[in-house]
Chain A
Amino acid sequence: GNSVTQMEGPVTLSEEAFLTINCTYTATGYPSLFWYVQYPGEGLQLLLKATKADDKGSNKGFEATYRKETTSFHLEKGSVQVSDSAVYFCALSDSYNNNDMRFGAGTRLTVKP
């Protein structure tokens, strides 16, 4: 079945450091890939998405490229801020799978000033 595996956290970085959170997936079809972010006490917010191979999703300085050959969708940001501290979830949506969304376990990021 479909699944998503994320880099285990927590991740702690200093402000302005480079961020990478690894995500790999297993899917039967041609999934769309997403990164969601969850701030304390809130629901998940869509951060970025990519719908086909080689697409790059980007938002708020975050980027992720859909790599079909390595079945990966790693999240990157060149210079993190304290306000980026949150839990990040990688997810996939497969048109063959009626319930659509499979989430990774999440990676908690803490950015220190």
Chain B
Amino acid sequence: DTGVSQDPRHKITKRGQNVTFRCDPISEHNRLYWYRQTLGQGPEFLTYFQNEAQLEKSRLLSDRFSAERPKGSFSTLEIQRTEQGDSAMYLCASSFSRGQPQHFGDGTRLSIL
């Protein structure tokens, strides 16, 4: 078990471009979560999956954001037409079930020029 892995670790892009991040959860974990973390703040919930089903989306997740988990394993988070305010650390976490501890990846740091 190698833990939760995220790719890339860093992404620098120009405003208006699209970006896609990948998360590979711990293999036996059914739940997968995406969070956004800005400097000096705790993680803010974006969305989560139970297997391949996306069960909840935060109001923070605007129409420019989309997440998928097509086979119930890895997940992708896409941001279209990036804006300056999208600059943040995007964290992925997985857990075995509801209420169980979440295990986090090291995150993808997005910088918008």
- Chain A positions within 8 Å of B, measured between CB atoms, are 4, 32, 34, 36, 41-46, 49, 89, 91, 93, 95, 98-106
Given A105-B42, A106-B40, A106-B41; A46-B99 close (CB under 8 Å): no
Contact B102 A100 (CB under 8 A): yes
| Max chain B Cβ within 10 angstroms of own Cβ: one of A43, A99, A104 | A43
Stretch from B13-21, B75-83, B103-111 forming part of the interface with A: B103-111
Q: Is the CB of B42 within 8 A of A104?
A: yes
List the B residue with the shortest CB-CB distance to A36: B104
- Tell me whether chain A's interface is mostly helix, strand or loop, or mixed: strand
Are A45 and B104 closer than 8 Å at their CB atoms? yes
| Chain B interfacial positions (CB closer than 8 Å to A) | 4, 6, 31, 33, 40-45, 48, 55-56, 58, 91, 93, 95, 98-99, 101-107
A93 touches B4 (CB 8 A): no
Of B43, B101, B107, the contact of A34 (CB 8 Å cutoff)? B101
A99-B106 CB under 8 A given contacts A106-B40, A106-B41: no
Q: How far is the CA of A31 from the CA of B106 in the complex (A)?
A: 26
Contact B42 A103 (CB under 8 A): yes
Residue of B nearest to A4 (CB): B42
Which B-chain residue is minimally distant from A6 (CB atoms)?
B42
Could you tell me if B99 and A98 are in contact, using CB atoms closer than 8 angstroms? no
Q: Note all chain B residues with C-beta closer than 8 A to A102.
A: 45
Additional A-B contact list (4), CB under 8 Å, known A49-B101, A100-B98: A42-B107, A43-B91, A99-B45, A105-B40
